[in-house]
Amino acid sequence: MHSKNKPCTFYVTTPIYYVNAKPHLGTFYTTLLADVTARWNKIKGCDTFFLTGTDEHGQKVAEAAAVAGKTPQAHVDELAEIFKQVWQRYNLNYTRFIRTTDNYHVKAVQKWLTELIAKGEIYKSTYEGWYCPSNEAFLTEKDLEFKEAGQPPISLLSGKPARWVSEECYFFRLSAYQDRLLEFYRTHPDFITPAERLNEVIAFVENGLKDLSISRKTITWGIPFPGDESHVTYVWADALANYLTAVGFEDETRTAEFSKWWPADVQIMAKDIVRFHAIYWPAFLMASGLELPKRLVVHGWIRVNGEKMSKSLGNVIDPVEIADQYGIDPIRYYLTRYIAITQDSSISTDDIEQRINTDLANDFGNLINRTITLALKNGLSSLPTTVSTYPADKELHAELQRTLIEFETEMNRYFFHQAYAALWKYVASINRYFHAQEPWKVIKQNPERFNEIITTTCQAITAVGVLLWPVMPQTIEKLFKAVGFKFVENTNYLEMLKAGSLETPFTLSALEPLFTKYDKKETEPMTTPTQTATDKTTPEKTAPAQAPTAPQGTQGYISIDQFAQVELVVGTILEAEGLPQAEKILVMKVNCGSYGIRTICAGVKKYYTPEELKGTKTVFVLNLQPRALFGIVSQGMMLTATNADGKPTPVRIDATVPEGTRLK
């Protein structure tokens, strides 16, 4: 067994993408999350390895090359270069870009398979069954839909026709790993994030595993199978091994490198390829006596017009086009902050523009410009490291500490959107502080206090900058320059912030506005319009000082952004039961669609029997802090309105609205 002995190293991977088309917003999104993860570990002081690359063998790529009228090699060379260029343009700072046609990978895969053959893990037989060329997957009955007589069935993995394959193959003894896999899932409940995905995997494995074909005889574009070159290696066996070979597996000259990085700390992907990563991949590793990756993070689809965005559906959004339109960092920010990994998300230009205007230009950009301009205008450019103890300043520092706890928890569980929502609450507090302290007035009577306000604001802004650097590195580096903060990668800034200071004296200098605001009339709508995550008619958020008085009877205005933080989701109560020790509580199992099945407690026992509640479709708040009630962790809250008799009644939802739909 190889083990990891360095205290702080971090290895993150993306899938390696098929080079049957250019990168699109979906493949970009996964690679962005990996980049953010790597950078987040850098500001925790970790030595990180971020791997991405291209999956260049197999039927699908060979067919794409034929369509392009090129040899497979010429085709993959061209596309691998395009992937690298797009990733570099977006500052996706990968450590290695692996290509499965790289010589070192090919040699290592052959060596690895030779060892598995010698161990008796691989044998020769005949495969007869359906194959999905789109997903390069051998299909089980459950993966097929027979629609029309005389026509091939549809692969449910891709929605495309399956192909019948009947050929001699080499097989991997996957069936022998069923019990070990189930035992592994049982003892590693955190193996997959979000946890609901693990249940799907367990159900698949419990259904029974068949041995897996790992070679193809009717295809030539692949790694020659060791010992029998009439076969090529099945593309998934070749592809999965990249996570090992990239860090030196099966290379005697790179053993230290391999033990430094393997096992991976996190492997990020979308839900289409969970089966390969959560079943086949661990079984391959077990067969090779290698440790398993510590965690798989599985995100949902970026959708366009309600459909998954994909190369084969031809509805892709080009990351280069939207970078041209909105800039690199705003797009990085938007995707990290507004897409929850737990669900499928639609994106739209309206929404992107609104977020850039409110979050970036108004909330953050204005704050920076106002602070620095005001300081410089009053001849203040050198600020001390001292941390002010004035009550309002102390409270702002204390709020940073609370934010850090929430931010770190969310980042460590890969709920990026929640981490950055927490950070934006802090940005709002800095704005409130700045307005309340009125430094533009204070300067006239008390220059010392003015210095303190500017220093406290700059300290808070720089702290936000450090936590934002993983998402917007270029912009934040400009900010650091303007405040004179010497940022050094791989420094444990998180610890410094927790200890209360970045210990930096600031030297301020003028800077250009960091973000451009969008006027709806000036920009063209995206060619693939989608439903928006917010109400298009919502007026732009205004600065707190100019906010109009709240309407009568309400507790004050909240911004659309604050509202959007509440995840209100439609769910159906599958079952409910009372607890003998709890007078008021019913514990329910609620089907929340793509959010999974949640355990939710509600104080309605006096009013409803479990039978009455069963089948009720209503609205749940899914992102409240989980609460333990009588030893049960409630993962949400049911919305009710109390009627004239004091009975809580669930909100009524139309039967046609599917579970998992978010209210907005």
Instruction: List the one residue out of 131, 134, 139 whose CA is nearest residue 166.
Output: 131
Q: Where in 208-247 is the site for ligand ME8 (CB under 6 A)?
A: 239-240, 242
Instruction: Indicate whether 201 belongs to the interface with ligand ME8 (CB under 6 A).
Output: no
Tell me how far apart the alpha carbons of residues 577 and 526 are, in angstroms, rounded to a whole number. 49
When the beta carbons of 168 and 196 are compared against ligand ME8, the nearer one is: 196
Neighbours of 331 (CB within 10 A): 22
User: For the chain, what's the residue count?
Assistant: 664
Tokens of 31: 């690679």
Tell me how far apart the alpha carbons of residues 433 and 416 are, in angstroms, rounded to a whole number. 26
Instruction: Indicate whether 317 belongs to the interface with ligand ME8 (CB under 6 A).
Output: no
* Residue in 10, 11, 12, 27 binding ligand ME8, rule: CB under 6 A: 27
Q: Where in 37-56 is the site for ligand ME8 (CB under 6 A)?
A: 55
Q: By CB under 6 A, which span of 79-87, 110-118, 303-311, 439-447 interacts with ligand ME8?
A: 303-311
What phi-psi label fits residue 490: left (phi over 0), alpha (psi between -120 and 50 degrees) or beta? left
When the beta carbons of 269 and 464 are compared against ligand ME8, the nearer one is: 269
3-state secondary structure string across 229-279:
CCCEECHHHHHHCHHHHCCCCCCHHHHHHHHHHCCCCEEEEEHHHHHHHHH
* Residue in 52, 158, 213, 310 binding ligand ME8, rule: CB under 6 A: 310
Instruction: Indicate whether 158 belongs to the interface with ligand ME8 (CB under 6 A).
Output: no
Tell me how far apart the alpha carbons of residues 439 and 458 are, in angstroms, rounded to a whole number. 13
Instruction: Indicate whether 63 belongs to the interface with ligand ME8 (CB under 6 A).
Output: no
Helices (H) and strands (E) in the chain, counts: 23, 28
Tally of CA atoms within 13 A in the half-sphere of 662 that contains its CB: 21
Amino acid at 181: L
CB of 495 to ligand ME8, least distance (A): 32
| Token pair 């204070």: residue | 442
Q: By CB under 6 A, which span of 222-230, 270-278, 439-447, 639-647 interacts with ligand ME8?
A: 270-278
When the beta carbons of 297 and 460 are compared against ligand ME8, the nearer one is: 297
Instruction: Indicate whether 269 belongs to the interface with ligand ME8 (CB under 6 A).
Output: yes
Instruction: Indicate whether 12 belongs to the interface with ligand ME8 (CB under 6 A).
Output: no
Count of residues near ligand ME8 by CB under 6 A: 21
Give backbone dihedrals phi and psi of 523, rounded to 5 degrees, phi first.
Answer: -105, 145
Q: By CB under 6 A, which span of 178-186, 304-312, 476-484, 631-639 interacts with ligand ME8?
A: 304-312
CB of 90 to ligand ME8, least distance (A): 15
Q: Which residue is nearest to ligand ME8 (CB)?
A: 26
Counting beta carbons within 10 angstroms of the beta carbon of residue 125, is it exposed (0 to 12), middle (13 to 18) or buried (19 or more)?
exposed
CB distance 41 to 33 below 8 Å: no
Residues 6+ apart with CB under 8 A from 4: 259, 260, 261, 262, 263, 291
Q: Where in 480-539 is the site for ligand ME8 (CB under 6 A)?
A: none
Instruction: Indicate whether 576 belongs to the interface with ligand ME8 (CB under 6 A).
Output: no
CB of 327 to ligand ME8, least distance (A): 21
Instruction: Indicate whether 302 belongs to the interface with ligand ME8 (CB under 6 A).
Output: yes
DSSP 287: H
Tell me how far apart the alpha carbons of residues 224 and 227 are, in angstroms, rounded to a whole number. 9
When the beta carbons of 43 and 109 are compared against ligand ME8, the nearer one is: 109
* Residue in 30, 343, 451, 459 binding ligand ME8, rule: CB under 6 A: 30
- Binding-site ranges for ligand ME8 (CB under 6 A): 15-18, 26-27, 29-30, 55, 239-240, 242, 269-270, 272-273, 301-302, 308-310
